[in-house]
Structure 1
Amino acid sequence: MQQTALITGATSGIGKATAQLFATNNINLILCGRRIEKLQKLQQELSKFTKVHILQFDVRYNEEVQNAINSLPDEFKHIDILINNAGNAHGLNSIQNGNIDDWDAMIDGNVKGLLYVSKAIIPQMVERNNGFIVNIGSIAGKDVYPNGNVYCASKFAVNALNKGMRIDLNQHNIRVCAIHPGLVETEFSDVRFKGDSERAKTVYQGYKALQPEDIADIIHFVVTRPYHVNIEDLIVYPTAQASATIVNKNA
């Protein structure tokens, strides 16, 4: 039977690349995001390969999440794969100089948003005794770096939630996996630096960063393993990166 995947943060970066790869591999898609024009454009692009439904909502708001999931038409209600990809980084400040609005945005999006979406989808997987949840974390959830404080804390939470999900859902035959990328060339730094594109560009200069398609390829590999195989925790660096703080920019 053809599977259906729900992808949050599908309008750009890793989410968009994953949607494109899934579509060409005959997986039906529920694409979620805040930017309706980008969702519509992606739906038009991918509908030539597979069935695509779009949902516009912000993962930070539980009521929006619940209303969106409840609105799914019957042919999309059966969700086999959940890709918790939506997330954000805001600012790069020391803890004493941190912006509380930035803190709220990161905790609401990276932690609470993941929980809200998972809560909306997991019951049907439990009922069927089947499903796969992929949580997109970060090396920031493994290794704290200077001025990363709250962002790192939010991704450490993703790491812990991934482990907790896997334990709690083990009795229900549900696979749970976290993928923790290092530096990926996406809109991530543009958002972190609040639209300062020149500063954002410097993050990816002097070496070859991971591309969204690299992570999408890994996600597809993970979800297509035989059902008795669960790749539960995976860290991915570009070759030029050795840790959260060590990058060879002369590579």
Structure 2
Amino acid sequence: MSEPDLVLRSDDGGVCTLTLNRPDKRNAVNRDLFRAFRAHVKAIEADGADIGIIVIKGAGDHFCAGHDLQSDPHPDALGWLRQEMLVLERLTKLRQPVIAAVQGTCYTGGLEFALTADFIICGESARFADTHGKWGLVPGWGLSQRLPRRVGQAKALEMMLTCQPYSGREAEAMGLANYCVPDTELEARVAGLCASILANSWHSNAENKRLVYDTDGMTLTGGLNHELMRNAGFDKDAANRGAKFAARKKD
């Protein structure tokens, strides 16, 4: 399989879907797959005006089993790890909201992949786990920072130190997943969320996302000042949206 084929891209109606495409390996990440993924992120950064939302999913029955531990290590392992971490951070910082659509395995590096998304929507077949400790490894893609922010410190430590798997329903209950639905409804649930987001101002979506992430960790006073002083202003379409609303009320 050639490098571009390891991550498939399809665009439809403002939705860009990136599919990790190593189904025979449960979409475990090797260097070639990651290079392909990095190329897609860079392309969206450079020319994403027609994209309003991004969906990340895995081919077949699984999202991602994490790093492919059978791959030969990079000669500069820490340097390559840093490159991977920076690419996933670029994914998080894209203007567009990002959804991870998860079914089946979502382990370790796969969980870190999902945590870079703004939303996690999963099927009931989903299994989430952090197994770094099982292999004598430590996170390098941001799990120690993103997981506690999503589920709280105590639950994050439970996941990291026990290495036990959690079902899709358990992930929803702890706030790791936004929604858990039967696998047969996953595609429709993701499509519905995309439609709800795309119907709103893409400018507002991007700026709301930026303000939330930029002020993470600030005091309330600092965050309020940031919102005021770093405000990007209204969408150029705001007046038209207001006029349409007023006309609808008259009807």
Bigger RCO (CA 8 Å, 6+ sep)? 1
Q: Give the greater-gyration-radius structure (CA).
A: 2
Q: What is the TM-score with the length of structure 2 in the denominator?
A: 0.32
